[in-house]
């Protein structure tokens, strides 16, 4: 059993979420594909940008003409991180394909195979011309084709093999198809004339939205809803059943005019149903055919049901096809219809009289019967006209692609932002310091900006917690100085670039050498009796705030770092102090101490490593205080005598046998030793 489309999409989202940094790229006719793709160093081709972009990335293409081969979208965006290919604000880039015979076009086909879904991709603001097709997609979903002029392509303006929930809004599709071949009798490999095979849009899939488009002068149909057997679900062709058939489309507020060979729209085959066709103007289509032909909406199967055709305007002068609807006598089987205006001229500004004018203008004049006769589709997402004017202007919607009286709205405020940092910084060789960067939106729609820094001293490296962000946003710049970093103060400049502009923010970085420890350590300690604890009082001298002192109690003056008892910092805790500790601190080594000489070792750390700063010997107990009571007296002497006589007190130590051990016994021992 194959993996279903929802599972595939979920996996794509899961893997896509691992990459959290979105990038913004630029393309210009003056660029170079070896560049980095920034606004200051743009790429030269649209293909380079499309091949590079990943989920969340946006590319802005500057004005000018781009001679391109195949522009191949190979990977999907995500719902929260779409891929966007956009015109640079206020500029009109042209994609002029090099050779339509080499199948040059924009294509959406996953790098892992055409049955893998592609989604959340936007292409907006381009003139796309002279391709094999303008755009071809396989299994495309949740994507948007907006504000493009797609014309003079050899076959279809858009060819779509499988998809769902795609939007085609505010585009112009004209003169797509091989007109010369049609006129010369050219046929396809099956012997069929090509005249009825090349269209403005030829697609299958579910839940497409086609609004506010101008679709005119294409060779065959304006739009083909392909619900034929070729669109039936197949796991070898489709990412899932929802990518097949041709159901639940919305075709609204478009103008269809002067399609050359056949009707404006065909609902084709048994797998298309529940399509809504509302607020459209159908004008002089099937221009080369006789009056008995359909110029509006045609059907090919009575099994295609529940379609609604409402509030459209149909007009034909008789120079071409005349029928508003296809096969007669099937209303209620194929479709229901209401509110349509038939055989009334829409009164365009310049729609032509029985023939396409040189400079057509399908906007409405004040006399147009289409004004205020449309259904209000605001809730369906139809909120502007082809020029971007708000719908409605007054009362109900107009029928057609333009709202009467609607002026093109002023362009939105240009994107702008400010950049600030946390101020001047100081770092010590071998250390690091951070600076906070803040990008604040000033105007326009927020767009991602990329961060960089210049002016770094030798031996200092940088890293960002986020190399790009979308204002309002912040990032942390970390500056790390090597042990050989150049000393002194340098001026650094942070640059944030995106949306066609860049902003800078400056600060200074001072690199210092590590300070030499100036700790002087003094020691006073009470001697401890064997078996007890040792208490020492230590005083640290002057030093920088980053310095500290640790104390170790070594088992012997010459021993290594083995120790008896616990080591402690100068402040008496197991935590390094953040400041120098000049006041006396009492340290207690709680482990039982044997009598003997120990070594207290003091270690200083000044940021460049730990080193031995001072050592001092301490004696636990005394060689004469034999009983460990803290004083040397006659009792200690007696013990010494007893030890010398290999006996205990008042045992063999009672030399004169008078029953007590006292100084007389000691004197006898001494006399004997002197030979007296």
Q: pLDDT tens, 51-63?
A: 999 999 999 999 9
Give domain 521-620's CATH number out of 3.40.50.300, 2.60.40.10, 3.40.1190.20, 3.30.1490.20.
2.60.40.10
109 is written with which tokens? Answer: 């086909």
Query: Going along 290-429, which residue ranges are E strands?
Result: 294-299, 307-310, 313-315, 323-325, 335-338, 341-342, 348-350, 361-364, 416-421, 425-428
638 is written with which tokens? Answer: 């007696």
Q: Where are the alpha helices (DSSP H) in 64-119?
A: none
Task: Calculate ∠ Cα 330-333-337, nearest 5°.
Answer: 80
Q: pLDDT tens, 356-372?
A: 998 999 999 999 999 99
515 is written with which tokens? Answer: 């300070």
Strand order in the sheet with 335-338: 24-27, 58-61, 83-87, 121-124, 144-146, 167-169, 209-211, 250-252, 276-278, 307-310, 335-338
Average pLDDT over the chain, rounded to an integer: 82
89 is written with which tokens? Answer: 């604000």
Q: pLDDT tens, 455-473?
A: 999 999 999 998 888 888 8
Cis peptide before 127 (omega within 30 of 0): no
Say if CB 137 and CB 164 are below 8 A apart: no
Q: Provide φ and ψ at 674, rounded to 5°.
A: -90, 0
Sign for the pseudo-dihedral over CA of 62, 65, 68, 72: positive
Please report which confidence band the pLDDT of residue 625 belongs to, taking 50, 70 and 90 as the band edges: low
Residue 9 has pLDDT above 50, yes or no: no
Amino acid 11: pLDDT? 38
Amino acid 189: pLDDT? 87
Q: pLDDT tens, 103-145?
A: 999 999 999 999 999 999 999 999 999 999 999 999 999 999 9
Amino acid 59: pLDDT? 97
Could you tell me the CA-to-CA distances from 91 to 35, 64, 500 in Å, in that order? 22, 8, 11
Ranges in the chain annotated CATH 2.60.40.10: 417-512, 521-620
Amino acid 634: pLDDT? 65
Q: What percent of the chain has pLDDT over 90?
A: 60
Fold exhibited by the domain 417-512:
Immunoglobulin-like (2.60.40)
Residue given tokens 């097949």 in the structure block:
244
Amino acid 169: pLDDT? 98
Distance (Å, whole) CA 134 – CA 100: 10
- Which H or E run contains 6? helix 5-16
Q: Which residue has the higher pLDDT, 187 or 331?
A: 187
Cβ-proximal residues to 533 (8 Å cutoff; 6+ apart), any chain: 588, 589, 590, 591, 592, 593
Q: How many CB atoms lie within 10 A of CB 186?
A: 12
pTM here is: 0.62
Say if CB 314 and CB 282 are below 8 A apart: yes
Say if CB 227 and CB 245 are below 8 A apart: yes
Q: pLDDT tens, 575-597?
A: 444 444 444 555 555 555 566 66
Residue 316 has pLDDT above 60, yes or no: yes
Query: Going along 546-591, which residue ranges are E strands?
Result: 548-554, 568-569, 584-589
Residue 516 has pLDDT above 70, yes or no: no
């Amino acid at each position: 059993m194959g993996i279903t489309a929802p599972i595939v999409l979920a996996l794509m989202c899961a893997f896509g979420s691992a990459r959290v940094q979105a990038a913004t790229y630029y393309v210009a006719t003056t660029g170079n594909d070896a560049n980095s793709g920034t606004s200051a160093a743009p790429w030269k081709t649209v293909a380079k940008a499309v091949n590079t972009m990943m989920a969340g990335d946006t590319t802005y293409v500057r004005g000018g003409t781009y001679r391109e081969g195949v522009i191949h979208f190979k990977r999907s965006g995500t719902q929260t991180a779409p891929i966007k290919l956009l015109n640079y604000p206020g500029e009109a880039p042209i994609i002029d394909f090099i050779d339509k015979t080499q199948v040059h076009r924009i294509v959406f086909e996953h790098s892992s195979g055409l049955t893998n879904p592609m989604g959340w991709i936007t292409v907006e603001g381009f003139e796309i011309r002279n391709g094999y097709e303008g755009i071809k997609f396989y299994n495309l979903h949740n994507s948007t084709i907006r504000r493009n002029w797609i014309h003079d392509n050899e076959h279809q303006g858009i060819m779509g093999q499988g998809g769902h929930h795609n939007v085609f809004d505010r585009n112009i599709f004209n003169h797509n198809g091989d007109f010369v071949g049609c006129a010369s009798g050219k046929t396809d490999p099956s012997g069929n004339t090509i005249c009825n095979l090349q269209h403005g849009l030829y697609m299958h899939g579910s839940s497409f939205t086609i609004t506010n488009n101008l679709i005119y002068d294409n060779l065959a149909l304006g739009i083909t809803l392909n619900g034929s057997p070729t669109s039936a679900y197949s796991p070898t062709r489709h990412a899932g059943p929802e990518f097949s058939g041709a159901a639940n489309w919305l075709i609204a507020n478009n103008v269809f005019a002067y399609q050359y060979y056949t009707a404006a729209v065909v609902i084709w085959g048994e797998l298309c149903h529940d399509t809504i066709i509302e607020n459209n103007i159908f004008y002089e289509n099937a221009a080369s055919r006789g009056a008995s032909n359909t110029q509006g909406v045609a059907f090919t199967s009575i099994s295609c049901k529940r379609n609604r055709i409402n509030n459209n305007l149909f007009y034909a002068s008789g120079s071409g096809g005349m029928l508003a609807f296809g096969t007669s006598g099937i209303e209620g089987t194929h479709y229901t219809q209401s509110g349509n205006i038939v055989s009334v001229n829409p009164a365009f500004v310049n729609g032509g009289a029985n023939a396409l004018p040189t400079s057509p203008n399908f906007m409405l004049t004040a006399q147009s019967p289409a004004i205020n006769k449309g259904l209000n589709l605001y809730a369906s997402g139809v909120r502007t006209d082809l020029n971007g004017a708000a719908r409605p202007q007054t009362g109900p919607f107009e029928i057609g692609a333009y709202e009467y009286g609607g002026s093109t709205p002023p362009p939105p405020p240009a994107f702008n932002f400010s950049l600030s940092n946390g101020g001047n910084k100081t770092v010590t060789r071998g250390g690091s310091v951070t600076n906070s960067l803040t990008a604040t939106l000033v105007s326009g729609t927020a767009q991602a900006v990329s961060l960089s820094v210049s002016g770094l001293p030798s031996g200092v490296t940088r890293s960002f917690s986020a190399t790009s962000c979308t204002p309002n946003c912040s990032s942390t710049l970390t500056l790390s100085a090597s042990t050989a970093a150049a000393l002194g103060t340098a001026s650094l400049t942070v640059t944030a670039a995106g949306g066609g502009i860049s902003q800078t923010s400056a600060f200074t970085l001072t690199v210092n050498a590590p300070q030499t420890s100036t700790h002087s350590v003094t020691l006073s300690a009470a001697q401890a009796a064997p078996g007890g604890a040792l208490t020492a009082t230590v005083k640290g001298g002057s030093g920088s705030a980053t310095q500290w002192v640790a104390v170790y109690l070594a088992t012997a003056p010459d021993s290594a770092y083995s120790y008896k008892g616990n080591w402690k910092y100068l402040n008496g805790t197991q935590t390094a102090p953040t400041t120098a500790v000049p006041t006396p601190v009492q340290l207690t080594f709680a482990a039982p101490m044997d009598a003997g000489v120990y070594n207290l070792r003091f270690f200083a750390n000044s940021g460049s490593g730990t080193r031995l700063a001072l050592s001092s010997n301490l004696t636990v107990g005394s060689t004469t205080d034999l009983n460990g009571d803290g004083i040397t007296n006659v009792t200690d002497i007696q013990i010494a005598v007893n030890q010398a006589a290999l006996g205990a007190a008042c045992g063999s130590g009672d030399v004169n046998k008078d029953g007590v051990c006292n100084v007389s016994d000691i004197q006898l021992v001494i006399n004997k030793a002197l030979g007296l």
